[in-house]
Structure 1
Amino acid sequence: MERYRHLSTREYILLLLKREGELSTKDLQNRLELTKVAVSRQMIYLEKDGFVVCRVGRQKAGRPMHYYSLTQQGNEQFPNDYGQLAVDLMEHIVLADGEERVDQFFARQQEKIIQKYEGQMEGKELSEKVAEMARIQDENGFMARWEQVSDEEFVITQYNCPYFKVADRYQMICARELNCYRALLQTSVERTECVAIGGKKCVYQIRSTQS
């Protein structure tokens, strides 16, 4: 928790649930290093405020376990890049010029992103590029983390989608993001999970194409 000392307990709980999807009371006790009573008190307030929802899981033995996850209101506590406003603007473009014009807009944004960051990738090994890509996405509000799975395989996980409301309606923006990954990393990249189609997070699997 050292990295998040600047956050309140309430904020850190929301962050944990955003990253993990669902956590039990016991999980939260271990992560927060708090007693069960202290955790339960925090969760009562968060549930009352509409930020979390509780699910009761039955166990073979002992008392039922309580599991918590974020509500839509809880998810909206994280960067969303003016979601509804962006959707309204996209719909205005569709009504005026058709959906193809929306994709043209996303294509221009894709090129701007590539041009902005491609210099930061020059001369780097793949592992360095992956680390830089995760840093860029994290700074842009995606809550990105990366890990090395093997000598030639990496994974970047994005726990937040600042454009979720737009992506939920116009999934072409997700395709453009994948294009940015491929252009900047200059290697094989596949998306294995996507929040716009029901995933808990966006996961990019990156493989070296050098033999």
Structure 2
Amino acid sequence: MKTNRFLMLLKTRGALTAGEISKELGITSEGARLQLIKLSEEGLIKSTNESKGVGRPTVYFSLTEEGNAGFPDTHAELTVKLIQLVKTTLGDEALDKVIAAGELAGKERYSNELQSITDLEGRISQLADIRTREGYMAEYSKDEQGYLLVENHCPICAAAQVCQGFCTSELNTFKLVLGEDIDITRVNHIIAGDRRCAYRITLKKAS
């Protein structure tokens, strides 16, 4: 369980120091250090040094590719094969139709769950809950700019890498279910090499 807690923390928070990890998990620095050594030896995490002015560089720990692979990518191999099969036998237009049908179904499902919620923050919170149930490890925060919806994991990453229509569909769905009075922009993208997908959500300015 301790190993799972370490990996989950690095997955959701990104690179952290040993001190930050021990504080977050409520364990001793020595306990954190021993677990970090073990995870490093197993190839699940890596360390990088970052210099910040004078003094010794700060050591940050983050997940390796193998560490990230421990989080599920829903039926990845089969999904990719099916996508490639549709493209080669039926063409790109057929694949677009499949994605559009999935998008429509998602919009209907999400809209039904959010229909009784009228305030924006409530809708964002419920959307994060839905996405978490679907394996995206979603959360949101509020700041002076508005809201940030974060997905710390993508359970369809393999499919999205071979067909980014899934990512476009996701953004279209968010725009519909959160309402016409908001602007939403993707600011981080796992496919682009970021550790997470994140969306900046703001209220549209009155014209």
Deviation, structure 1 residue 210: 7.3
The whole-number CA distance in structure 2 between the counterparts of 1:46 and 1:54 is 11
Deviation, structure 1 residue 63: 4.6
* Corresponding position of 1:92: 85
Deviation, structure 1 residue 99: 2.5
The whole-number CA distance in structure 1 between the counterparts of 2:28 and 2:93 is 55
**Is there any run of 5+ residues in structure 2 with no aligned partner, and where?**
none
* Corresponding position of 2:27: 34
CA contact (8 A) 1:25 1:65 kept: no
Q: For 1:76-155, what aligned pairs fall within 5 Å after superposition?
A: 76-123=69-116, 124-150=118-144, 153-155=146-148
* Corresponding position of 1:206: 201
TM-score for both structures, normalised by structure 2: 0.89
Match of 1:12 among 5, 11, 34: 5
Residue 189 (structure 1) aligned with residue 190 (structure 2)? no
CA contact (8 A) 1:168 1:197 kept: no
Q: Please give the secondary structure, in 2, of the residue aligned with 1:162.
A: coil
Q: Please give the secondary structure, in 2, of the residue aligned with 1:142.
A: coil
Q: For 1:175-186, what aligned pairs fall within 5 Å after superposition?
A: 175-186=168-179
The whole-number CA distance in structure 2 between the counterparts of 1:63 and 1:34 is 24
Q: Please give the secondary structure, in 2, of the residue aligned with 1:154.
A: strand
Deviation, structure 1 residue 93: 1.2
Q: Please give the secondary structure, in 1, of the residue aligned with 2:134.
A: helix
Q: Please give the secondary structure, in 1, of the residue aligned with 2:191.
A: helix
Q: Please give the secondary structure, in 2, of the residue aligned with 1:157.
A: strand
Match of 2:43 among 31, 50, 73: 50
Question: What amino acid is the match of 2:132?
Answer: D
Deviations 1:161-199 (A, max 9, x none): 111111122111100000110111113221111111122
Greater CA drift, 136-145 or 186-195: 186-195
Deviation, structure 1 residue 94: 1.2
- Check 1:98–1:168 CA distance in 2 against 1; reply closer, same or farther (3 A cut): same
Output the aligned Cα RMSD: 1.9
Question: What amino acid is the match of 1:172?
Answer: G
The count of aligned residue pairs is 203
